[in-house]
């Protein structure tokens, strides 16, 4: 396998060191920009839930938990579609290659996002409005299901073995930069136009921005060839006839998929509770002003964006397991105290809590995508990676905002999100004990 790997690099990348590094940097940039566009499109919905609940719910529901639950239904439904998107895109990606498919996915989610910005309100067309909203969220979910594993496979297959997590870090940072940009954009719009205008029409602006972003992202993704590892598999005629059958009929792959479901368990609450759900939690449950809620989230986002490259660098040198273990322990220990700080209703303490949780989560976020990519061989990587990670996201992430809203409304206990973080952190910690160290090792071809 080592000999085959050497052939891969000579086959697809220039032999000149400087040119080769430039190609790797372009692949890393393409992953980062694509991730930014994809997750801006996907995450802006969560950041705007406070406004969307007023636009797409009946007037007697818009100020109640029922309206919020209805709006979060659109959030949750999109997650249940993700495994289907992951399976279909994984099959196509392992058969046809990664590059063209990723450009198509980016265009698909951007068009769906822009369409949300053009939807009539509930007051205009009644229940057809939330129904169309949920339909477009399904399209977004399908695209997102193929994005993470496809982009992760793409960048990992370009990266050097000894610095794979560092090369992949822009891909991971892109999703958080997208949320930060969205938070700051919405905060700026509220400051300029006011809350009433935000509900009336300004909420459409962030969704419509998806079109120019898509043009930039698709352009960058189509300017780089498919990955050296996939090109080698294709040249050696090792492309699997049916990647899904290959994955699901192999005990080795099934075992790895099982680990790929539980290992990133804390990734779901870490991303969707700490960053996507947090503005709504602070606004609706803790009664912070909407702009304060967004700024607290922005503090956490700035922290994790700044910290991810350092964590990726450490994992390339110390290994994936030490970072995953340390992050899981830190998340479990900090979750309850930090959510308790949020319940005090004080803006500075809320910002401190967001920063602490973001720093703890960075050790996981900066490592997990490289780890998952390294667990599977090139000929089935996209398919297996998609199945494992998307199922994990559905189980531990997608239902989190809806579940948290329901549980808090039923029990009145504001610290409930911390218990989900603790539970998933413990599951990630246990799963890491079964992980074989992959840092610095060549990617398997088959």
pLDDT digits (tens, 9 = 90+) for 252-286: 999 999 999 999 999 988 887 888 778 778 887 88
- For the entire predicted model, the pTM comes to 0.85
Q: Decide: 151 and 245 in contact? Cβ < 8 Å.
A: no
Q: State the CB neighbour count (10 A cutoff) for residue 278.
A: 29
Q: Three-state SS for 97?
A: coil
User: What's the CA gap between 172 and 305, in Å, rounded?
Assistant: 9
User: What's the CA gap between 357 and 426, in Å, rounded?
Assistant: 15
- Residue written as token pair 């790797």: 24
Give the pLDDT of residue 34.
84
Sign of CA dihedral 56, 37, 370, 313: negative
- Residue written as token pair 């136009």: 193
pLDDT digits (tens, 9 = 90+) for 100-111: 899 899 899 999
Give the pLDDT of residue 69.
61
pLDDT digits (tens, 9 = 90+) for 126-157: 888 888 988 998 998 899 888 889 999 999 99
Give the pLDDT of residue 11.
45
Listed in order, strand segments (DSSP E) in 187-334 are: none
pLDDT beneath 70, residues of the chain: 1-19, 58-75, 398-402, 405, 446
| Residue 322, both tokens | 């030490």
User: Pseudo-torsion of CA 361, 367, 370, 374, nearest 10°?
Assistant: -120
């Amino acid at each position: 396998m080592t000999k085959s790997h050497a052939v891969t690099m000579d086959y697809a990348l220039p032999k000149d060191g400087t040119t080769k590094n430039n190609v790797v940097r372009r692949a890393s940039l393409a992953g980062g920009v694509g991730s930014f566009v994809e997750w801006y499109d996907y995450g802006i919905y969560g950041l705007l839930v406070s406004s969307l609940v007023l636009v797409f719910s009946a007037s007697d529901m818009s100020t109640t938990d029922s309206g919020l639950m209805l709006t979060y239904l659109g959030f949750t439904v999109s997650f249940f579609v993700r495994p289907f998107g992951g399976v279909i895109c994984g099959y196509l990606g392992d058969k046809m290659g990664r590059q063209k498919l990723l450009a198509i996915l980016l265009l698909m989610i951007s068009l769906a996002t822009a369409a949300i910005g053009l939807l009539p309100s509930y007051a205009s067309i009644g229940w057809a409005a939330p129904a169309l909203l949920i339909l477009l969220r399904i399209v977004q979910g399908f695209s997102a299901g193929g994005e993470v594993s496809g982009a992760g496979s793409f960048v990992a297959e370009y990266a050097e073995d000894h610095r794979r997590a560092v090369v992949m870090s822009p891909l991971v940072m892109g999703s958080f930069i997208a949320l930060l940009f969205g938070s700051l954009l919405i905060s700026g719009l509220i400051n300029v136009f006011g809350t009433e205008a935000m509900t009336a029409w300004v909420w459409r602006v962030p969704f419509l921005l998806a079109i120019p972003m898509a043009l930039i992202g698709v352009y960058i993704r189509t300017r780089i060839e498919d990955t050296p590892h996939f090109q080698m598999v294709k040249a050696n005629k090792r492309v699997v006839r049916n990647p899904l059958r290959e994955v699901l009929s192999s005990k080795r792959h099934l075992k790895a998929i099982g680990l790929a479901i539980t290992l990133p368990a804390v990734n779901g609450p870490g991303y969707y509770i700490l960053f996507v759900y947090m503005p709504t939690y602070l606004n609706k449950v803790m009664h912070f002003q909407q702009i304060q809620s967004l700024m607290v989230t922005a503090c956490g986002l700035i922290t994790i964006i700044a910290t991810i490259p350092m964590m990726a660098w450490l994992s390339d040198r110390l290994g994936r397991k030490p970072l995953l273990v340390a992050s899981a322990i830190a998340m479990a220990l900090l979750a309850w105290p930090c959510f308790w700080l949020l319940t005090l209703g004080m803006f500075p303490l809320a910002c401190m809590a967001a920063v602490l949780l973001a720093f703890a989560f960075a050790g996981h976020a900066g490592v997990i995508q490289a780890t998952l990519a390294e667990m599977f061989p090139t000929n089935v990587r996209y398919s297996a990676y998609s199945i494992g990670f998307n199922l994990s996201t559905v189980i531990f992430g997608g239902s989190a905002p809806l579940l948290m809203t329901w549980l808090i409304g039923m029990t009145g206990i504001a610290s409930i999100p911390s218990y989900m973080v603790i539970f998933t952190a413990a599951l990630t910690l246990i799963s890491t004990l079964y992980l074989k160290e992959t840092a610095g090792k060549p990617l398997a071809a088959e």
